[in-house]
Each structure stands twice: as C-alpha cells, then as structure tokens.
Amino acid sequence: MDGLLGKLGMDRKMALGYFGVLIFMMGDGLELGWLSSYFTDHGLSVQQSALVFSVYGFAVAVAAWLSGVLAEVLGPRKAMMLGLSLFVAGTLVFLTFGITSMNLAIILPTYALRGLGYPLFAYSFLVWVTYYAPSDKLGTAVGWFWFAFSGGLNVLGAYYSSFALPVLGEMKTLWSALIFVLLGATVAIFLNKDKNHSKKFENKSEALKYLLKGVTIAFENPKIGMGGIVRTINTSAAYGFVVFMPAFMMDLGFTRSEWLQIYGSLWTSNIIFNLIFGIVGDKLGWRNTVMWFGGVGCAVFTVAFYYVPLAAGPNYFVATAVAACYGACLAGFVPLSALIPSLAPENRGAAMSILNLGAGLSTFVGPAIVGAFIGLVDTVGVIWIYTGLYLISAVLMKFVTLSKKEAEEAERVSLEEFQNAQKA
C-alpha cells in the first residue's frame, strides 16, 4: 500500500487526512448547487439570494484568512477542531431558525456562521500539507488536497443531492450534512497519522504579531499579494454560477437533477485535473501552468458555458462536455498553492493565509458580481465580466515569479521540514 501511495504522490501518513477532507467537504457542499433556486422558489429574489451567498462568502473569506495563521498559532489539528465546532454550530442555528423562517434578517447571520467553519478545517489542513511535503513533490501534494476538497464540495455533494432530494426533501438533505462532516472530521483530525507542524510562540504578543503577518506579508512581498488576487479570481465565477446558472439552464429546458449532474461533471473533471495540473506544474513550471491553462483556459470556457447551451438547447451531453472543459481549466490554478508559500518559505502559514483569503473572497466576489450587475447587464453581461477577470489573472501571473534564490531557500526549508516529519 505504501508503494502504491508513493507512486500516486501521496504519503501514507497524510492519506487519511485527505480522505477526511473529502468526506467533510461533501457534507459542506451538498446544498451548493440548489440552495439558490430553493431560496427563489420560496420568496427571495435573485438579488436577495446573491446577497445571502455574498455574506456567506465574506464569512468564508475571514475564516480562510485566519486559517493559515491559526494553523501556525494553534497547530493544524486544533485549528481544524475549531472549524468543525463553528460549522456544526452554524448548521444547527441556520436550519433551526434561519431557513425555516425564510426571513432574510435571520438567514444572513446564521448562514454566515456556518460559513466560518469549513475554511478553518480544510485550509488548516492545506497548511499542514505545505509544511510536510518535499518541495519537488509540493505541486502533486497540493493537487491531492484540491482533489479531495473539490471532490467533496462540488462533486460528491452535488451528486448526492441529485439523488437525495427526491427521496429526503430539502430539509432532511440539509440535516444529513452533519453526518458527513462529523465522519470526515473524525478521520482527518483523529485518525490521520502525521504529527502536527506547529510554530511555538512564547507569549500572546508574539502570536498576535504573527497573526498580523497574514496581512502585512502581502505588502512586504507584492508577488504574494498578486497571487492572492489571482486566487480570488480563480473560483469566483464557479461560485457565481450557482446563483444564476440554475435558472438560466432550467429556462433552456434542463431539469434541476440534470443541472446538478452537469454541475457535478464540472467538478468531476476538476478533481481529475487537479492531480494532472499538480504534476504538470511540477514539470512545466507553476507560473506558466496557472497563466495559460488557468487564466486563459477559463476565459475561453466561461464564454462557452453560456453560448454553447444557448445555441445547442437542452442537450445534456453537450452541456456536460463544456462544463467538464471549464472544470479542467479551473484546475490550472492548482500550482498557486505550491508557488505562493515557496515565495516565503520561513512564513508559509502567513503566505497561505493570503492565498486562503483569496479562496474565501472568491465565494464573496462571485455572487456579489451577480447581485451587482445581473439587473444591469443580464446573464450574458455577467459571463463577460467573469471572462475579463480570468484574462486579468493571466496578465498578473506574468509578474508572480519565483527567483532561483527563492527556489533554493524554499527547497532548503522544505527539506528540513520533511526530515523532521520523517523522524516524528
């Protein structure tokens, strides 16, 4: 088994952690593809639904930023346990008081509370991975993380919902999320064999200083800041799609189950290419992979995701193929998780906080663009805004370079961390 995992680029000590993240994120993401249409079917407007997802995304962004530095201050396991606690508490209050009332004043804070949980859980584990993996395998290691993350959040969650909704209904399907979250957390936190990496702080002042490092590092090293902007753009359209694309696709003649399966195919392709582009990034260069496959590729297939179904009509197989191509290009951004921490090898947690902040902001920016512009420029205008952002991300990556000195330093620190982990 160890030999097989080694050939796949996954260390046996971290394998259970990846599996736990997969199951946890399945519970977190099972409502992602249909909750917006549920809101609009029960009295909210598209703009109000976008507001809910934007506020949720803001909470995700805050927790995502905190995850990197909290993983350093508390250690990854404790940070992940904090994320689990917040997710469970948020789910309980949202399902008990929020969605049952369909009162926006209650839905906004309760769903936002739920959004604080998963970034602390998942992104703290990502920090754990970046410290443990050797530099020459880091792209593959983070590829496995995004395989597990996206596979749970967007694939298994979507497919599970497509079959569970007709049987359980919306509310019971939402409650079932707790089963997957608790199971995944048990595996990732308590059964994962690797020891924590944790930075030791002598006092609270030192810990607070490092917390602030998760902001200042973006200005001290502008390439890290630009990487955070690119990461924000990366999945912003994907999170925006769930706000308005279900209605668009159903207006074309697709059923809700077909839409969920098309959306699931997008992320099925994505998780496969997360691994492929992790390996490709290690071979062809992290920056070039992000710039061409990620930025330019996503720009092309964002446009196609709108115009091809519009021209072909409710053709399930054609729409699925286009969605899969977009999902594949979305994975082109995976090497960012190797490139950005390598720019600050002594402060990887802080650097990852900027990257995680970008990941969280994408869940805010994507729906916010819909809420702000769909009334002005309609669906097609929103599609072109996302397309323009992807092209901007490609241009920004031209400047996010890893010098020979930075690469050597990253390799040295990574080797020390890896040797310490092997001795543990």
pLDDT in tens, the chain (424 residues): 445 555 555 566 677 889 999 999 999 989 988 898 899 888 888 889 989 988 998 898 888 888 877 887 788 888 999 999 999 999 999 999 999 999 999 999 999 999 999 999 998 888 888 777 666 677 777 778 888 988 898 788 888 998 899 999 999 999 999 999 999 999 988 876 555 555 555 566 776 777 777 788 889 999 999 999 999 999 999 989 988 998 899 999 999 889 988 988 998 898 889 889 988 888 888 899 999 999 999 999 999 999 999 999 999 999 999 999 999 999 999 899 889 988 887 777 788 888 888 988 898 899 999 989 999 999 999 999 999 999 999 999 999 988 666 555 555 544 444 344 444 4
Q: What is the Cα–Cα distance from 296 to 326, expressed in whole angstroms?
A: 11
Q: Centre a 10 Å sphere on the Cβ of residue 43 and count the other Cβ atoms it contains.
A: 10
Q: What is the Cα–Cα distance from 157 to 142, expressed in whole angstroms?
A: 21
CA angle 308/48/122 to nearest 5° reads: 75
The per-residue pLDDT for 202 is 59
Query: What is the maximum span of the chain, computed from C-alpha positions, in angstroms?
Result: 63
Structural domains in the chain? 14-423 (1.20.1250.20)
| Two structure tokens written together for 234 | 């990366």
**Among candidate residues 294, 297, 144, 324, the one with its CA nearest the CA of residue 234:** 294
The answer to whether 142 and 130 have CB atoms below 8 angstroms apart is yes
How confident is the model over 68-118, as pLDDT tens digits?
778 877 888 889 999 999 999 999 999 999 999 999 999 999 999 999 999
| Two structure tokens written together for 406 | 């930075």
Q: Backbone dihedral region of 374: left (phi > 0), alpha (psi from -120 to 50 degrees) or beta?
A: alpha
Q: What is the Cα–Cα distance from 244 to 239, expressed in whole angstroms?
A: 10
What's the DSSP call for residue 333?
G
pTM metric for this prediction: 0.76
The per-residue pLDDT for 298 is 98
**Among candidate residues 284, 293, 356, the one with its CA nearest the CA of residue 330:** 293
- Contacts of residue 178, defined as CB under 8 A and 6 or more positions apart, other chains included, come to 27, 88, 91
Per the listing, tokens 């736990």 go with 20
The per-residue pLDDT for 135 is 66
Distances (CA, A) of 45 to 1, 246, 252, 263: 52, 14, 20, 22
The per-residue pLDDT for 419 is 42
**Among candidate residues 239, 229, 209, 195, the one with its CA nearest the CA of residue 364:** 239
The answer to whether 63 and 83 have CB atoms below 8 angstroms apart is yes
How confident is the model over 258-285, as pLDDT tens digits?
998 898 899 889 888 988 998 888 888 8
Q: What is the Cα–Cα distance from 109 to 95, expressed in whole angstroms?
A: 12
Q: What is the Cα–Cα distance from 302 to 328, expressed in whole angstroms?
A: 12
CA 361 to chain centre: 10
